[in-house]
Amino acid sequence: MPIRVLSEQVASQIAAGEVVERPASVVKELVENSIDAGASNLRVETRGGGKEFIRVTDDGCGVPAAEAEMAFQRHSTSKLSTADDLSHITTLGFRGEALASIASVSRVTFVTRAADEPMGTLLRLEGGKVITQQENGRPPGTAVTVENLFFNVPARRKFLRADRTERGHIDGWLTRYAMAYPELGFTLSHDGKAVFQSLGNGKLRDVLVAVYGLEVGAALLEILPGEPEASIRVSGFVSPPSLHRANRSYITLFVNGRWVQDARLTYAAFQAYHTLLPGGRYPLAVVMVQMPPEEVDVNVHPAKAEVRFSDGDAVFRAVQRAVRHTLMERSPVPLAARPPISWPSAAPTTSRREERIERLTGLRSQPAGEQLRFEPRPAEATEPGESVLATSADRLPPLRVVGQLGVTYIVAEGPQGMYLIDQHAAHERVLFEKLLAERERAAVASQSLLEPQPVELSPEATSVLEEYLESLNGLGFQAEPFGGATLLVRAIPALVAGEHPREVLEDIAAALMTGDAPLSTRVEESIARSVCKQAAIKAGQVMAREEMEELIRELERCASPRTCPHGRPTMIHLSVEQLAREFGRG
């Protein structure tokens, strides 16, 4: 096959793949241009999840008429001129690729006016080619409209997700920039409905209230300022130890006003909470790092989300020290737990111990009004002399409970040695298989709230939950959109009846936002895993022998008893031979 030079159009479309991954990428690049142009107010409008229509309007400096068409040529930029400029970049954009890449895979209308010019300029481009250029009357600033994204690259367009998913990604990008630039006013609307607005008053806490809700925004702790002469300065807000999330996705990092993904800095913020958080929980944090631009390299990837530091250890220490100092100085004394949610009254159980065993095993009452009863599941019918349990390599042998170790592990004896069973992981597995079995029978037990409860989440979390409402409702929830970033919750699964709906939904949203949108069956499993993690007994909980025995019996009946739903082992097996070797008997 002969070597040939690609046409400019094909080369532009290939380059666009690095910059424009989805509609949110377009919003990101256009918003960065608006910020670099000195805008005070930015408005973002979308339709069809951004696939059909995106418009970003600003009141920045605008583009002179003589340079408007040049702005859409590859590698054209006003933000640097020599290679030396790359060593001290102070703007969000600098590559000169964004507008050219966007225009090559969409239909673009570009309307701009420089403040010192009497008239503005209107450009229309299709597939990167200018088809209209004319004068236009508008206030100083720029409005860029992007329509039919990937219309000429169908292979890319078919991989875009549902509208709600794409809206969620847009929400995430815009709210990040609202946090990074609280002095700017941001407005976001989807399909004609406003979903987010920041005041632009320079107060980051007000932006966090708009993003996360009043309760969370008010609880966050402002990071204490460090030495004023320090070259690395850390600011922002972090959650008190009593406020935590299911994964690291709520740790948001900015370096010189740029949102970045950096595993080390994320770990630095998390490590500052050492010994302060429950196992498997993570803080909510918005951390701003300001440092000399020549000490950070932002020219790492076209998306500009990765950076390199000249002294990464120093930045790590600065973040960890600032967050830890804030926690030590400002963390409030934990308040008493919130009053329990009011649930419909239920008849009393026969005894406290039976109630605990019932909660442990996931067995529930019959229709409302009947008394709860503990009825252990009967063993499956077997032939004489046949083992009930050990029928395959995945099944467990019969186990005899010996006791509890460290208020975390169940010590059990089996025919092949000793087993240490993680009580939380084991209970997660038991509840997970029960919940999925109930889903298959369309019989998931649900607990109705006495009054519907509005639950305010972040726009990104609300968007992803709205997309999967059908899956949520199939697993015992009853929830519906309630305007803005609020869901109206009417019922939650009986397994988590004692938990606050907002905390349950936040954990589910965090799980669903990790990675790309999964298949529908994986969505339901992800939701079920989050519910069961909330409901399972925790490390540190004392268990009666009867409870441990019942948990072991339920685990023995599971199809996959050796791992929890998240893949962690439920047990460690020490064989008789291993023990003999350790005692010098081998």
* 214-264: pLDDT as tens digits: 889 999 999 999 887 789 999 999 999 988 888 888 999 999 999 999 999
pLDDT for 370 beyond 60: no
Which residue, chain included where needed, has tokens 């030079």?
5
Rounded-to-integer distance, Cα 72 and Cα 504, Å: 46
Q: What is the pLDDT of residue 336?
A: 44
* Mode of pairing for the β-strands spanning 571-575 and 120-126: unpaired
First to last CA, the chain: 66
pTM for the predicted model, two decimal places = 0.71
Same domain, yes or no: 280 and 364: no
In sequence order, what are the residues at sequence separation of 6 or more whose Cβ sits closer than 8 angstroms to the Cβ of residue 581? Answer: none
Q: What is the pLDDT of residue 327?
A: 93
User: Looking at 343-352, 370-379, 390-399, which range is the least confident one?
Assistant: 370-379
In sequence order, what are the residues at sequence separation of 6 or more whose Cβ sits closer than 8 angstroms to the Cβ of residue 228? Answer: none
Residue 386 lies in a domain: no
Same domain, yes or no: 364 and 290: no
Q: What is the pLDDT of residue 229?
A: 77
Residue 350 lies in a domain: no
Domain of residue 151 covers 8-202
pLDDT for 351 beyond 60: no
Q: What is the pLDDT of residue 107?
A: 96
Q: Rounded mean pLDDT of the chain?
A: 83
Tell me how many domains the chain contains. 3
Give percent above pLDDT 90 in the chain: 50
Task: Confirm if 282 and 241 have CB atoms less than 8 A apart.
Answer: no
3-state secondary structure of 314: helix
Strand partners, 282: 245
Same domain, yes or no: 294 and 368: no
Give percent above pLDDT 70 in the chain: 81
Which residue, chain included where needed, has tokens 């008893």?
561
Q: How many residues does the chain have?
A: 586
Residue 16 lies in a domain: yes
Q: What is the pLDDT of residue 16?
A: 57
Stretch 491-502: mean pLDDT:
89
Same domain, yes or no: 162 and 252: no
Alpha helices (runs of H) in 332-484, residue ranges in sequence order: 352-361, 423-440, 459-467, 469-473
Residue 1 lies in a domain: no
Q: What is the pLDDT of residue 78?
A: 64
Q: How many C-beta atoms lie closer than 10 Å to residue 1's C-beta?
A: 3
Same domain, yes or no: 268 and 365: no
Rounded-to-integer distance, Cα 456 and Cα 406, Å: 38
Given 138, 170, 202, which residue is the final one in a domain? 202
Q: What does the block give as tokens for 272?
A: 């500052």
* Mode of pairing for the β-strands spanning 141-147 and 53-58: antiparallel
Q: What is the pLDDT of residue 368?
A: 35
Same domain, yes or no: 198 and 224: no
In sequence order, what are the residues at sequence separation of 6 or more whose Cβ sits closer than 8 angstroms to the Cβ of residue 416? Answer: 397, 573, 575, 576
Same domain, yes or no: 172 and 106: yes
Task: Confirm if 29 and 98 have CB atoms less than 8 A apart.
Answer: yes
Same domain, yes or no: 313 and 447: no
CATH number of the domain enclosing 69: 3.30.565.10
Residue 461 lies in a domain: yes
CATH number of the domain enclosing 275: 3.30.230.10
Q: What is the pLDDT of residue 68?
A: 92
Same domain, yes or no: 179 and 33: yes
Q: What is the pLDDT of residue 343?
A: 43
Same domain, yes or no: 36 and 154: yes
Question: What burial class does residue 469 get, using C-beta atoms within 10 Å of its C-beta: 0-12 exposed, 13-18 middle, 19+ buried?
Answer: middle
CA dist 57 to 46, 124, 310, 515, Å? 12, 16, 36, 30
Task: Confirm if 495 and 444 have CB atoms less than 8 A apart.
Answer: no
The gap from C-alpha 133 to its chain's centroid, in whole angstroms, comes to 42
Question: What burial class does residue 387 get, using C-beta atoms within 10 Å of its C-beta: 0-12 exposed, 13-18 middle, 19+ buried?
Answer: exposed
pLDDT for 339 beyond 50: no
Rounded-to-integer distance, Cα 21 and Cα 166, Å: 11
Q: Select from 225, 186, 217 the least CA-distant residue to 58.
A: 186
Stretch 298-323: mean pLDDT:
86
CATH number of the domain enclosing 423: 3.30.1540.20
Q: What is the pLDDT of residue 258?
A: 92
Task: Confirm if 86 and 5 have CB atoms less than 8 A apart.
Answer: no
Residue 473 lies in a domain: yes
**Phi, psi angles (nearest 5°) of residue 277:** -115, 150
pLDDT for 341 beyond 60: no
Same domain, yes or no: 228 and 294: yes
Residue 339 lies in a domain: no
Residue 530 lies in a domain: yes
Same domain, yes or no: 183 and 123: yes
